[in-house]
A and B are shown apart, each in its own frame.
Chain A
Amino acid sequence: MTAPTNPAGPVDLSARAAAAFSRLYGLAYARVGPDLTIQQASPAFLALVDQPTALIGQPLSAVLWEFVGADEALRPVLAGQSPRYQLERVNRELPDGQIHYLTFWVVPWSETQPGAGLIVIVEDADRFGQLEQSLVQSRNELHLAQAQLLRANQKLEQLATTDDLTGLPNRRYFEQALRRELDRGQRYRHATALLLADVDQYSPFRDLYGNPLGDEVVKLVALLLADRLRGVDRLARLEAGSFALLLPETDLPGAAVVAERLRERVAREAGPALTAQRPGAADGAQFTLSLGVGAAPAQAATPSELWDVADAALTHAKATGRNRWSTTPTAYVISSK
């Protein structure tokens, strides 16, 4: 019987010991006593904290800020009640001037002798840290870009559907709302009313006093109209001094009541409000509204039919003297005057 041979040749124990020692010596570690002061530190640890000497006997937390306030977490490890304490991905500038991602491991110095002390091992996980950082960076930038895109779309949507002067919805938005509301009204068999309103003699006023004052009148009338509506009603500015109102679940007589209330309010308040707001600009000017009222399904089945009905009623109101509301001028006429 022959003794087994090592294919790599005879073992050089002293070389292995030297290699192991070198590996251990190259490790950044420090031994910490029961009082949490540093008892011993490897050269790599000393280089890491950029303090080649004068560490021995100092509290761990005085050498590594990462351990300030950590005493409570370290004591169970010291007492053998917890296997380890670890702190991952700590961004730390090392003596090479670069930020490294470090992991701190704290384990008992001796498994058989609780309370003997701790060993703090510092691992430079920079390669993984850099990779992780670039992944997180990409993900976060993607989220931010999505959020910006969403905001831009919302802004575009708002610009496309809002009247600049009054902040009210514009015709585009209103026509969509009218279609939706008529669909809903048909499904649930509810009436829907449409009011079209024009500020009487708006163009001559604007030509006489100028666009800025004309704009003030439009804003005032918009405020007076909006103030008296229900939450479900929709008011839009169509153009110049023209407005449209959508009144869900409102029949023709109900819409006529609303029209009269709005007509009366504008006639009473718009002029004095402008005088109070712009004294001397057009003192004594009076403003009135003509309104056309239509309702579905009593008078129309589709949005365009309803629009035509209300528009014809508005033309009738203007043709018969203004400062009034009117329903369809054909089969029957209900008028405020």
Chain B
Amino acid sequence: MTVVQQKICLLGEFAVGKTSLVRRFVEGRFDDRYLSTIGVKISRKALPRPAGELLLLIWDLAGGDEFSLQSSYLRGAAGALIACDLTRASTLAAFDRYTEQLWALNPGAPVVFIGNKVDLVAERAITDAELLAASQRLGGPCVRTSAKTGEQVEAAFALLAEQLEARR
């Protein structure tokens, strides 16, 4: 069986739920406590794909302005998931900056845009139309997820995996 190993990055502003998305995807669980990530946390998950096994090395990077992303974190990334928090409008505006940083080092790397915390319906601050418009403008698909309930989390990673395979 063919095993392909690829590095992907998870980007987005602080507290959008990046670490929770990885935890849900890799460990299948959710923890309500918020613990800020500094630097990078690397996890692995093997995805069975029609063409063989895809071993994803998921780089969960700290979000926020003050600790600007080091190029060594992004270098060599085959693709990325860029997440916003659907209850904080300002997190959507950061899509541009993260996409730009990723593509500066990895031109044309596939990106899937994520609107996380879709379960918090009453607190929604970003509409589906706004999320779709931002992702279309940047040229990637978008998925609404909930790390808490697990909704669409697998689908988001699978979508990126498809795009990685299509590019190989």
Contacts and interface: CB of A to CB of B under 8 A. Distances in A.
Interface of A: 65-66, 68-73, 85-92, 101, 129, 132-133, 136-137, 139-141, 143-144, 147, 151
27 contacts: A68-B7, A68-B57, A69-B6, A69-B7, A69-B75, A69-B77, A69-B78, A70-B72, A73-B72, A87-B40, A87-B72, A88-B39, A89-B38, A90-B40, A91-B42, A101-B38, A101-B39, A136-B36, A136-B38, A136-B64, A137-B36, A140-B64, A141-B34, A143-B15, A147-B88, A151-B87, A151-B125
Contact of B42 (A72, A85, A88, A90): A90
Given A69-B7, A136-B36, 13 more contacts: A68-B7, A68-B57, A68-B76, A69-B77, A70-B76, A87-B40, A89-B38, A132-B38, A133-B36, A133-B38, A140-B14, A140-B64, A151-B87
Nearest to A99: B41
Contacts of B41: 90-91
Q: Which secondary structure characterizes the binding site on chain A?
A: helix
Contact of A140 (B36, B76, B78): B36
Interface residues of B, number: 31
A74 to B, nearest CB: 10
> Taking each of A85, A88, A101, which has the highest tally of chain B beta carbons within 10 Å of its own beta carbon?
A88
A129 B38 contact: yes
Interface string B57-81: 1000010101100101101111000
Given A65-B44, A68-B57, A90-B39, A136 B76 contact: no
A89 B75 contact: no
Contacts of A70: 72, 75-76
B123 interface: yes
A137 to B, nearest CB: 4
A90 B39 CA distance: 6
Contacts of B6: 69
Nearest to B89: A147
B75 A136 contact: no
Contact of B123 (A71, A88, A151): A151
B127 interface: no
A69 B58 CA distance: 12
A68 B77 CA distance: 9
B35 interface: yes
A97 to B, nearest CB: 16
Given A68-B5, A68-B7, A72-B76, A143 B14 contact: yes
